[in-house]
Chain A
Amino acid sequence: MLHEYIEKIRPHFEEGGKLKAFRSVFDGFETFLLVPNTTSKSGVSIHDAIDSKRIMSFVVIALMPALLFGMYNIGLQHYSYIHAEASHLTMFLYGLCITLPKIVVSYAVGLGIEFTVAQWKHEEIQEGYLVTGMLIPMIVPVNCPLWMLALAVAFSVIFAKEIYGGTGMNIFNPALVARAFLFFAYPSKMSGDKVWISTDQVFGMGKDLDVVSSATPLGQAANTAFENSAEFLGSMDFSSYVIGTMPGSIGETSVIAILIGAFILLWTKIASWRTMVSVFIGGAIVGFLFNVAGPQTTIAQIPWYDHLVLGGFCFGAVFMATDPVTSCRTEKGKYIYGFLIGALAITIRVLNPGYPEGMMLAILFMNVFAPTIDYCFVNNNINKRLKRAK
């Protein structure tokens, strides 16, 4: 029945039809609803059932626990800041109402650009943005204005993805480019202690606030003088960091929720365990080195295991570092790539006085070097072949 309906409206979208300007949208929805019955004409006659739609949707599914917890945490942080009682459901609904517009804006702007480009290039719509569009709202502070989000999305889709040729050709992770764009263009809206608690009242839930002040644990650490570090370190609470009931970007706080996502990604073999594990090892080793021989600052004294569960470390390790397009493509290279991301992220955190989070810059930086790492391994293979020929 669905098939018949699609066949009926198809002529409108083809060349000469009155809706031909929406051909890419039609194609996108058609392949979304019905698996194309195109059969192979050359090469293998049979194909594996996997396709990029399924891969991307599984990444989105893997993001769900972190997103849902993030919504709840928005409510939790807001209500505990205003010292009001509220049920868990109210907190979640409050967070949902705060988050949903961000997701809608992210998808509307990003997919709008993707559809336009697909129409213009006469190509099929690519699914990559399904993941990026979900990631971007999850890695910004809750008070990031919608217009800013829209601007960042447009910038990253156009300048971090489409100009390179679309999903699969980009050098930088588009979601992180969007975050980096916001971070450098509007630093006051992306870090500090004013951005982590929602200031809005929605549908009678919550309370309108003029100014809030609540820093993330990493922010607090950065602002704590070394003399007071013992007190701060004593107040650190590993278990609440793992559960995620602390201020932070929407999706990044709960380690448990992120690990559920990690489990889905590793189970389905969509993400590389090599990269993921290496990030944690790199972060742990460097964190430990700072513990034993670091500078005299509070942040250097944060125990290495706390470093791994704070800020965007887990989220970056699971969902960003493992992006197959921008990470290393050789299996051995993935170990080095992951290790250096973890190591750099902690190094930036500890040594950069202005900014207490390093994951974003570490991953973007390693995106640049991923091809170089691959180059070494591929060249090794090439040299072996050359030597053999002699």
Chain B
Amino acid sequence: MERIFKLKKGLDLRLVGEARHEKKVLPLSSEYVVSPTDFYGLTPRLCIKEGDRVLAGAPLFADKDTERVKVVSPVSGTVAAIVRGNRRKITGIKIKADEKNQYADFKQLDLLNATPEKVLEALLETGMFALFRQRPYDVVANPGDKPKGIFVSGFNKMPLAADFSFTVKGEEEAFRTGVKVLAKLAKVYLGIQPEQVNTPILPIEEAEVNIFDGPNPSGNVGVQINHVAPVNRGEVVWTIAPEEVVMIGRLALKGVVDQRKTIAVAGSGIIDPFYYEVLTGAPFADILKDNHKTDGNWRIIKGNPLVGTQSCMEDAVGAHQTELCVIPEGDDVHEVLGWIMPRLNDFSVNHSYHSWLSPKTKAYDLDCRIKGGKRNMIMSGEYDRVFPMDIYAGYLIKAIITGDIDRQEALGIYEVAPEDFAVAEFVDSSKLELQKIVREGLDILRKENA
């Protein structure tokens, strides 16, 4: 029997341009980009050089320290360029794709009958392991660790987020198989929302299934970990996204590294928002072609508007990305005396605006303006109202700002990832960059504890 966790804290926010439940398949693009920066915490050492031929599933780079964690190519083709940024940091590997995708053959791995050691080696070899992230620190997992659990969240309630219940359609068997493979490494915990109880992704005997009923961010894996089995000092848990579990399932079933995933193309800047089946690394230009508005200033977001990053047309689908959003930038708006106006079309959790009287289903068209200056933390309890974890969010943020490492540990920094603070950052009247603060705090802690 599944356990049910009822969460009260949080905030469901709907934005204009949610992707309708219709899936199209993006034809193979001519060029794909794999970016090492998607794998936070991993320093890449290249396995290829420009001009090399690669198959889909062939390694492109590995982590510098152990060379065990490998990232593989999503397509077959020729390495066209290694793109470097500041201080020669590798920011992308461009692959000119073949006309027909050819996969490296991994049938001999036989994941379903292999020993746990063999499974780990196979996942490392096929690049699937690089998709695991670990708590603490929210970085690429370390294959040398013994995790106390592997957590998968089967849903995401962020605004404009892709609906896994829809994207998994037709791939349920691969998903269940993927969980079976994971269960060989450690105990698997799957978090679902009540609506998913009677869907074909269940039953899964190999995982402990927990139901989370509550507003965003209840779909964050960090929130689920905090309720099911919080991370203590010295412990490690691994997390992996559900569409990545599907990829592992495909590897077990078909013996190929098939990095297809269905992403939501959404936001008020999209003419016809729908789902697109793409390969990791597919260029945004192909996905958005003729389907985004060009009048005015628009922001392309790699991910959803709360957790994603500002991006551009030249970018490509990232390793963990499940949405591509286009929303108004807003830098051409000059609002007179906005702080005292009723702002009929704006959203606020604060009741000095009236948006709380509107029905919960109302969708808003928000732009990227911060709408206020950065201040010291003034209001109390703002974060706690949208932070469904047993952690004093405001105190943790203060401990990070002041660099007090002992206090950060005591207040539970090992349990959080920047994305857990996304909703708090949205509602913050002091406009502090909470996700950035947490990221920096985690980075410093990781260095100190290394």
Contact = CB atoms under 8 A, between A and B. Distances in A.
Nearest to B428: A48
A34 B375 CA distance: 18
Interface in B401-433: 410-412, 422, 425-431, 433
B373 A36 contact: yes
Contact of A48 (B309, B347, B378): B347
Contacts of A38: 331, 369-370
A37 B380 contact: no
A381 B351 contact: no
Interface hub of A41, A267, A327 (most chain B Cβ within 10 A): A41
Contact of A166 (B232, B340, B372, B376): B376
A44 B299 CA distance: 12
Interface string B214-237: 000000000000000010111000
Interface stretch (B84-92, B177-185, B388-396): B388-396
Nearest to A274: B381
Contact of B306 (A46, A269, A385): A46
Given A47-B431, A389-B234, A378 B395 contact: yes
B327 interface: yes
Contact of B381 (A32, A50, A329, A389): A329
Interface string A7-42: 000000000000000000000000111111111111
B368 A55 contact: no
A56 B35 CA distance: 45
A168 B376 contact: yes
A254 B337 CA distance: 32
Given A34-B336, A39-B368, A385-B410, A124 B351 contact: no
Given A44-B426, A44-B435, A382-B410, A37 B350 contact: no
Given A36-B370, A37-B332, A39-B369, A268 B350 contact: yes
A335 B353 CA distance: 27
B36 to A, nearest CB: 19
Contacts of B336: 2, 33-35
A283 B348 CA distance: 35
A165 interface: yes
Nearest to A382: B410
Contact of A268 (B352, B370, B390): B352
Contact of B371 (A41, A43, A51): A51
B330 interface: yes
Contacts of B334: 2-3, 34-35, 37
A35 B431 CA distance: 14
Contacts of B188: none
B301 interface: yes
Contacts of A331: 381, 384
Contacts of A42: 309-310, 433, 435-436
Contacts of B374: 124
A382 B384 CA distance: 16
A294 interface: no
Interface string B22-43: 0000000000000000000000
Nearest to A266: B351
Most buried by A among B375, B395, B411, B412: B375
A54 B430 CA distance: 11
B74 interface: no
A57 interface: yes
Interface in B299-342: 299, 301, 305-310, 327, 329-340
Given A37-B331, A37-B333, A39-B369, A44 B430 contact: no
A248 interface: no
Contact of B351 (A32, A37, A165, A269): A269
Nearest to B409: A385
Contacts of B343: 49
A51 B339 contact: yes
Contacts of B197: none
A341 to B, nearest CB: 16
Given A37-B332, A168-B375, A330-B392, A47 B380 contact: no
B425 A43 contact: yes
Size band of the interface chain B makes with A: 35 or more
B410 A386 contact: yes
Contact of A39 (B330, B338, B391, B431): B330
A382 B329 CA distance: 41
Contacts of B83: none
Interface in A312-365: 324-325, 327-331
A336 to B, nearest CB: 14
B377 interface: yes
B305 A45 contact: yes
A206 to B, nearest CB: 35
B369 A47 contact: yes
B339 A45 contact: no
A52 B381 contact: no
B337 A33 contact: yes
A367 interface: no
Nearest to B303: A45
A35 B335 contact: yes
B450 interface: no
B264 to A, nearest CB: 15
Contacts of A272: 380-381
Given A35-B339, A45-B299, A388 B232 contact: yes
Given A34-B336, A167-B376, A330-B392, A52 B370 contact: no
Contact of A35 (B305, B355, B369): B369
Contact of A52 (B372, B426, B434): B372
A226 to B, nearest CB: 43
A381 B411 contact: yes
Nearest to A51: B372
Contact of B378 (A39, A168, A267): A168
A82 interface: no
Contacts of B1: none
A137 interface: no
B378 A329 contact: no
B379 A44 contact: no
A126 interface: yes
A389 B233 contact: yes
B351 A268 contact: yes
Q: Nearest 4 pairs between A and B by C-beta?
A: A51-B372, A168-B376, A35-B338, A389-B232
Interface of A: 2-3, 31-55, 57-58, 124, 126-128, 165-169, 267-270, 272, 324-325, 327-331, 378, 381-382, 384-386, 388-389
26 contacts: A34-B334, A36-B369, A36-B373, A40-B370, A45-B306, A45-B327, A46-B305, A47-B369, A47-B426, A48-B349, A50-B353, A50-B372, A51-B429, A52-B378, A53-B372, A53-B373, A54-B339, A168-B430, A169-B376, A270-B379, A324-B379, A325-B378, A329-B381, A331-B381, A381-B392, A386-B410
Interface of B: 15, 159, 230, 232-234, 299, 301, 305-310, 327, 329-340, 343, 346-353, 355, 366-381, 384, 390-392, 394-395, 410-412, 422, 425-431, 433-436
Given A33-B336, A38-B331, A40-B370, 13 more contacts: A2-B334, A35-B336, A35-B339, A36-B369, A36-B373, A43-B434, A47-B370, A50-B352, A55-B352, A57-B340, A166-B376, A329-B380, A382-B410
